[in-house]
């Protein structure tokens, strides 16, 4: 079961302007301000709706992506807010028990049935919770009547046929407790303490959708049954069917399978969440000894509902979002220039379960500078409240919003059925319409054209900050931590008196970027089976292209720059990570970070950068229309990148904080323990970054390292998506072929540096982490295959999938040791011999040894007898299903092609992956696993928390 996505105190659910804009506009909105403001917003064309005589609501839509598949989504309109005091945690337990015993699927039969169809639990078959609803999803691999009926019958059982047996309740309670424990950590603890302080009178504070250890431990089976009987009624259920079949046929099947549920009296309702507006300004300070940074909030609570159902609601949402976006953009400008004392800032608008909105300006900085962080954040919010926005800021926001909704509209014809079903389901949960993205784009443009700068400024002043603001600090526990009185004084002091307007910064009109002289293609080849064209440029750059319109109007460009981390030594360690800041925060010598940001405003372009052990990667997601602009930006980053001083210092602070957090949290410490065990002590370049290396980095050396990489590093790039070959190659010649000449990329690169002696097993580490989080981590594994040996890698991939089925059944379902468990195989790329095959998960500290022994037994048994034929059949079906999904996606082919020559990857192996997967036999899997599971290749790592001793207060390793 997934963790809830709308819990205000969950780090996952911070809503900055970009995702909330998409959620509000792309899933909810479709109107124009010129229409009557109370008119309801329309549903998307082709969405058919029916309310059955028993009260159950059905919705269906035809969608051909992916072909031959159907997505089913059920919303039960009862979440944690509906729980009585003695039922807290019941909604969470019910989501688990739905998969463990019903009228047509006795305990232990549901998962094997859907596995036989190729579904993977947690990926194609899942559930999650919110304050107001439970969601259940099935992504079916076929659209035939028998398969769709099977999915609908499961939904019918969830709605009116769960057995809720006492023994299943006890088993699933243990799993649910492990799930809550797996989410534990300093951020979770701080968030759990914060919400009751922000909303002291609200049910939201006492009804987290996941429950907590206390409420789950006290829950009784009869209370879960009472919750089920009260709320799992037909009138409280919505079922959505979307897929490659006529909507009328999907609706008819749903009517037949769900219409037989007996009706019951009652009506849908949501308990009052009791969200109240603060009557005066106050401060909240939450400290935790394991937090490593300061997080400052200036927050307001508005109890007015946040639903978007009419044109008036649309206008309010747009006005709020424009203000939030413009303010975040303003703060980012101060961060880029080094004027800000904080290193990151966000404007957040969080839906409080439909009962209000929490609007926050949030900044992250050094704990020692909490006064400066809170003061500057408060003052900047107040400055905007008093003086409003500049016309240019609102114009930029308008262009950005239009670009995003237009991009979504262009891509929606190929949206995946599961995503479309989820959009419709989310709207149903909030009792909102479900317009199409094209409706949104057309009508939002009209609405935006009537929104003025003055209107946005007034709305921002009403929404953010003000006399009833809450000043919040989340920070490390220390003797010098501020009191709430001190915090309130700082916040109010920052906005007292005169807060002058800032002079509008002068914007230099930069000349257009001159197109570079294009290079030439000197060699070209076509791989018919994959449809990929590969070319060498005269400067040594390698370029691939593959056309696919599976995602309409979408293009993915992935660029590999070989080198970096693998080249580092004692003196240069950490320079590659530091150099990456010029791509993370794009800047060049001729265009500042602010210039490049302005260049991409209003464009459907996303840039992301990553560092691997032997390469830097730059990924661009864009549209055909904006591809050239995106490649212009990429050319700047590949020819004249510049590390801006403020960006480097913010990287240093962020990295030091991440290192500090890594030392205390078991899940983060695991990567350090494993790395130290695998590699020789003297190989600094294979180690994770440490504080001394990060502090030693200076700007001249980092810039010189980056300049060398882009000037001479071998390059390989892939352009994949809805763009024809001639246009793609022309752009590649212009923006990649024009780069400085460099060696051709290939497998022999850095051959001497790749030879590292691997530590001999069995490697055993039992480490105590200095944490009070009651969470241990256990990993059992062995060294796996090299990526260059495709057959060996594929065979162990099948072994991992088959072993996962066994581990889920035995360790999770039968023994309830863990919440989630799976085996993973990661073939080695940079360093031969360092492929990894392992199973790892969190566990209650007292059961760490039991889990370690149990996983070891499972590996031993698999090595001795191999998988069963049944496990092989399930593994093949699941992997073929996932391959069918992945191999259609442009992102998949961009990843495959962007380092195909560098890795020596055989495209026949990729193009024929399904056939070659079917040829993997049980005997091959058994033999490969048995050969890898030798003493010299094994490793076992256990990370235990140092829990406080209740008698002495000292810490001790959890046993």
Looking at residue 948, what is its pLDDT? 55
pLDDT band at 37 (very low <50, low <70, confident <90, very high): low
Asked if residue 39 is part of any domain, the answer here is: no
Asked if residue 396 is part of any domain, the answer here is: yes
Beta bridge mates, 947: 956
Q: Contact at 8 Å (CB) between 157 and 96?
A: no
Sequence-ordered list of residues with C-beta below 8 angstroms from that of 630, at least 6 positions apart, any chain: 557, 600, 603, 605, 607, 620, 622
Cis link prior to 55 (omega < 30° from 0)?
Answer: no
How wide is the angle at C-alpha 236 spanned by C-alphas 47 and 233, nearest 5°? 130
Asked if residue 501 is part of any domain, the answer here is: no
How wide is the angle at C-alpha 660 spanned by C-alphas 291 and 474, nearest 5°? 15
Regarding whether 540 and 594 lie in a shared domain, the answer is yes
Name which of 764, 766, 783, 781 is nearest 823 in CA terms. Answer: 781
Q: Contact at 8 Å (CB) between 825 and 932?
A: no
What is the rounded average pLDDT of the residues 306-326?
A: 91
Regarding whether 720 and 663 lie in a shared domain, the answer is yes
Looking at residue 947, what is its pLDDT? 66
Number of structural domains in the chain: 4
- pTM as predicted: 0.92
Name which of 342, 733, 720 is nearest 535 in CA terms. Answer: 733
Task: Report the CATH number that the domain containing residue 150 is assigned in CATH.
Answer: 3.30.830.10
Asked if residue 384 is part of any domain, the answer here is: yes
pLDDT band at 16 (very low <50, low <70, confident <90, very high): very low
Regarding whether 774 and 703 lie in a shared domain, the answer is no
Regarding whether 626 and 600 lie in a shared domain, the answer is yes
Tokens representing residue 143 in the block? 């659209």
Cα 461 to Cα 327, 364, 824: the distances in Å are 11, 22, 50
Structural domain boundaries enclosing 817: 763-957
Looking at residue 442, what is its pLDDT? 86
Please state which of the ranges 265-274, 513-522, 740-749 shows the lowest mean pLDDT.
265-274
Name which of 178, 207, 191 is nearest 8 in CA terms. Answer: 191
Residue 715 backbone phi and psi in degrees, to 5: -125, 140
Regarding whether 706 and 651 lie in a shared domain, the answer is yes
Residue 1 has pLDDT above 80, yes or no: no
Cβ atoms < 10 Å from Cβ of 247: 18
Q: Contact at 8 Å (CB) between 283 and 306?
A: no
Regarding whether 469 and 335 lie in a shared domain, the answer is yes
- Residue 488 exposure: Cα atoms within 13 Å on the Cβ side: 12
Asked if residue 35 is part of any domain, the answer here is: no
Q: How far apart are CA 904 and CA 907, in angstroms?
A: 9
Q: Contact at 8 Å (CB) between 266 and 451?
A: no
Looking at residue 953, what is its pLDDT? 40
Regarding whether 770 and 702 lie in a shared domain, the answer is no
Regarding whether 775 and 744 lie in a shared domain, the answer is no
754, 789, 815 — which closes off a domain?
754
Q: How far apart are CA 902 and CA 558, in angstroms?
A: 13
Regarding whether 827 and 925 lie in a shared domain, the answer is yes
User: Helix, strand, or coil here: 451?
Assistant: coil
Looking at residue 19, what is its pLDDT? 38
Cα 279 to Cα 199, 296, 379: the distances in Å are 12, 21, 21
For the segment 600-612, what is each residue's pLDDT rounded down to a tens digit?
A: 999 999 999 999 9
Regarding whether 324 and 204 lie in a shared domain, the answer is no
Q: How far apart are CA 827 and CA 788, in angstroms?
A: 8
The burial class, CB within 10 Å (0-12 / 13-18 / 19+), for 535 is buried
Residue 217 has pLDDT above 90, yes or no: yes
CA 434 to chain centre: 24
For the segment 720-778, what is each residue's pLDDT rounded down to a tens digit?
A: 999 999 999 999 999 999 999 999 999 889 999 999 999 999 999 999 999 999 999 99
Name which of 863, 862, 860 is nearest 871 in CA terms. Answer: 862
Regarding whether 929 and 912 lie in a shared domain, the answer is yes
258, 291, 318 — which closes off a domain?
258
Q: What is the DSSP string of 124-139?
A: TEEEEE-SS-EEEEEE
For the segment 169-199, what is each residue's pLDDT rounded down to a tens digit?
A: 999 999 999 999 999 999 999 999 999 999 9
Residue 639 backbone phi and psi in degrees, to 5: -115, -35
Q: Contact at 8 Å (CB) between 685 and 565?
A: yes
Sequence-ordered list of residues with C-beta below 8 angstroms from that of 890, at least 6 positions apart, any chain: 546, 548, 550, 551, 554, 555, 556, 720, 721, 722
Asked if residue 6 is part of any domain, the answer here is: no
Asked if residue 82 is part of any domain, the answer here is: yes
Regarding whether 444 and 378 lie in a shared domain, the answer is yes
What is the rounded average pLDDT for all residues in the chain?
A: 93
704, 725, 754 — which closes off a domain?
754
Cα 709 to Cα 74, 99, 875, 903: the distances in Å are 51, 52, 42, 19
Name which of 626, 613, 611, 641 is nearest 557 in CA terms. Answer: 626
Q: What is the DSSP string of 716-776?
A: EEEEEESS-HHHHHHHHHHHTTTSPP-PPP-TTTTTGGG--PPPPS-EEEEEEES--S--E
For the segment 121-161, what is each residue's pLDDT rounded down to a tens digit?
A: 889 999 999 999 999 999 999 999 999 999 999 999 999 99
Check residue 550 and report its DSSP letter. S
Q: Contact at 8 Å (CB) between 333 and 408?
A: no
Q: Contact at 8 Å (CB) between 469 and 299?
A: yes
For the segment 837-851, what is each residue's pLDDT rounded down to a tens digit?
A: 999 999 999 999 999
Q: Long-range contacts of range 604-612, CB-CB < 8 Å, 24 or more positions apart? A: 604/403, 604/404, 604/406, 604/407, 605/629, 605/630, 605/633, 607/583, 607/633, 607/634, 609/580, 609/583, 609/584, 610/580, 611/564, 611/565, 611/576, 611/577, 611/580, 612/564, 612/565, 612/829, 612/830
Q: How far apart are CA 802 and CA 819, in angstroms?
A: 19
Q: How far apart are CA 537 and CA 539, in angstroms?
A: 5
The residue with greater pLDDT, 53 or 311, is 53
Strands (DSSP E) found in 548-640: 555-562, 605-612, 615-622
Cβ atoms < 10 Å from Cβ of 882: 16
Residue 3 has pLDDT above 70, yes or no: no
Looking at residue 310, what is its pLDDT? 84
Beta bridge mates, 780: 839, 940
Asked if residue 109 is part of any domain, the answer here is: yes
Q: How far apart are CA 11 and CA 59, in angstroms?
A: 32
pLDDT band at 663 (very low <50, low <70, confident <90, very high): very high
């Amino acid at each position: 079961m997934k963790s809830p996505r709308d819990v205000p105190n969950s780090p996952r659910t911070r809503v900055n302007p970009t995702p909330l804009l998409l959620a509000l506009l792309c899933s909810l909105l479709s109107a124009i301000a010129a229409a009557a403001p109370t008119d309801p917003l329309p549903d998307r064309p082709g969405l058919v709706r029916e309310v059955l005589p028993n009260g159950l609501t059905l919705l269906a839509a035809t969608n051909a992506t992916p072909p031959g598949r159907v997505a089913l989504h059920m919303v039960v309109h009862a979440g944690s807010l509906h729980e009585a005091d003695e039922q807290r945690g019941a909604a969470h337990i019910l989501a688990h028990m739905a998969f463990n015993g019903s009228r047509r699927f006795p305990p232990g039969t549901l998962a094997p049935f859907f596995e036989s169809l190729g579904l993977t639990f947690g990926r194609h078959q899942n559930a999650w919770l919110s304050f107001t609803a439970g969601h259940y999803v099935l992504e079916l691999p076929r659209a035939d009547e028998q398969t769709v009926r099977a999915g609908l019958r499961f939904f019918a059982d969830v709605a009116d046929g769960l057995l809720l047996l006492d023994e299943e309740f006890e088993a699933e309670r243990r799993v649910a407790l492990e799930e809550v424990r797996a989410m534990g950590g300093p951020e979770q603890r701080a968030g759990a303490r914060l919400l009751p302080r922000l909303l002291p009178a609200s049910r939201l504070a006492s009804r987290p959708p996941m429950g907590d250890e206390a409420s789950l431990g006290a829950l009784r089976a009869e209370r879960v049954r009472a919750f089920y009987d009260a709320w799992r009624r037909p009138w409280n259920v919505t079922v959505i069917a979307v897929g490659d079949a006529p909507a009328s046929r999907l609706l008819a099947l749903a009517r037949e399978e769900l219409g037989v549920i007996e009706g019951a009296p009652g009506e849908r309702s949501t308990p009052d969440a009791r969200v109240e507006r603060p009557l005066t300004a106050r401060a909240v300070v939450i400290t935790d000894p394991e937090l490593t940074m300061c997080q400052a909030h200036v927050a307001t609570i508005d109890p007015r509902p946040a639903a978007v159902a009419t044109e008036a609601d649309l206008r309010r949402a747009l006005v709020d979002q424009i203000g939030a976006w413009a303010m975040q953009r303003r703060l980012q400008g101060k961060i880029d220039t080094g004027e800000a004392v904080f290193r990151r800032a966000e404007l957040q608008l969080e839906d409080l379960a439909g009962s209000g909105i929490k609007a926050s300006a949030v900044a992250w900085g050094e704990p020692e500078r909490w006064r400066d962080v809170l003061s500057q954040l408060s003052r900047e919010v107040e400055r905007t409240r008093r003086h409003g926005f500049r016309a240019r800021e609102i114009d930029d926001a308008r262009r950005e919003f239009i670009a995003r909704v237009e991009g979504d509209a262009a891509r929606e014809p190929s949206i995946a059925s599961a995503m479309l079903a989820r959009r419709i389901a989310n709207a149903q949960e909030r009792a909102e319409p479900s317009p199409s993205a094209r409706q949104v784009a057309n009508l939002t443009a009209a609405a935006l054209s009537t929104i003025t700068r003055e209107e946005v400024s007034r709305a921002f002043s009403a929404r953010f900050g003000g006399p009833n603001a809450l000043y919040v600090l989340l920070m490390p526990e220390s003797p010098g931590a501020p009191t709430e009185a001190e915090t309130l004084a700082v916040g109010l002091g920052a906005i007292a008196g005169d807060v002058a307007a800032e002079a509008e910064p002068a914007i230099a009109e930069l000349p257009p970027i001159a197109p570079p002289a294009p290079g030439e293609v000197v060699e070209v080849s076509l791989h018919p089976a994959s449809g990929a064209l590969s070319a060498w440029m005269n400067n040594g750059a390698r370029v691939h292209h593959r056309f696919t319109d599976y995602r309409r109007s979408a293009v993915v460009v992935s660029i590999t720059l070989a080198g970096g981390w693998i080249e580092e030594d004692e003196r240069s360690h950490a320079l590659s990570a530091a150099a990456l800041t010029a791509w993370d925060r794009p800047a060049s010598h001729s265009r500042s970070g602010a210039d490049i940001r302005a260049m991409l405003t209003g464009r459907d372009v996303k840039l992301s950068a990553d560092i691997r052990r032997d390469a830097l990667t730059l990924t661009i997601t864009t549209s055909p229309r904006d591809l050239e602009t995106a490649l212009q930006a990429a050319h700047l980053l590949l020819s004249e990148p510049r590390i801006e001083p403020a960006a480097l210092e913010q990287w240093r602070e962020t990295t030091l904080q991440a290192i500090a957090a890594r030392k205390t949290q078991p899940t983060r410490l695991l990567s350090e323990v494993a790395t130290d065990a695998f590699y020789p002590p003297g190989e600094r370049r294979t180690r994770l970054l440490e504080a001394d290396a990060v502090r030693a980095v200076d700007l001249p050396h980092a810039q010189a390292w980056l300049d060398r990489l882009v000037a001479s590093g071998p390059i390989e790039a892939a352009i994949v998506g809805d763009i024809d070959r001639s246009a793609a190659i022309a752009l590649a010649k212009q923006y990649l072929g024009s780069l400085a000449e460099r060696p051709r990329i290939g497998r022999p690169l850095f051959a001497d540096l790749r030879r590292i002696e691997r530590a001999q097993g069995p490697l055993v580490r039992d480490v105590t982490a200095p944490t009070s989080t009651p969470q241990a981590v256990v990993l059992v594994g062995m060294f796996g295959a090299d990526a260059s040996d495709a057959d060996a890698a594929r065979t162990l991939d099948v072994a991992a999938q088959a072993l996962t089925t066994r581990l889920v059944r035995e360790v999770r379902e039968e023994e309830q040791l863990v919440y989630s468990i799976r085996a993973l195989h990661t073939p080695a790329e940079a360093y031969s011999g360092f492929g990894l095959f392992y199973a790892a998960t969190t566990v209650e500290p007292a059961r760490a040894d039991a889990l370690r022994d149990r996983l070891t037994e499972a590996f031993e048994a698999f090595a001795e007898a191999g998988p069963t034929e049944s496990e092989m059949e399930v593994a093949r079906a699941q992997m073929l299903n996932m391959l069918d999904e992945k191999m259609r996606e442009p992102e998949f082919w961009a990843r495959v092609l962007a380092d195909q020559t560098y890795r020596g990857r055989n495209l026949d192996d990729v193009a024929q992956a399904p056939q070659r997967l079917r040829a993997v036999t049980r005997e091959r899997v058994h033999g490969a696993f048995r050969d890898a599971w030798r003493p010299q290749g094994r490793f076992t790592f256990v990370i235990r928390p140092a829990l406080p001793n209740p008698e002495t207060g000292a810490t001790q390793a959890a046993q």
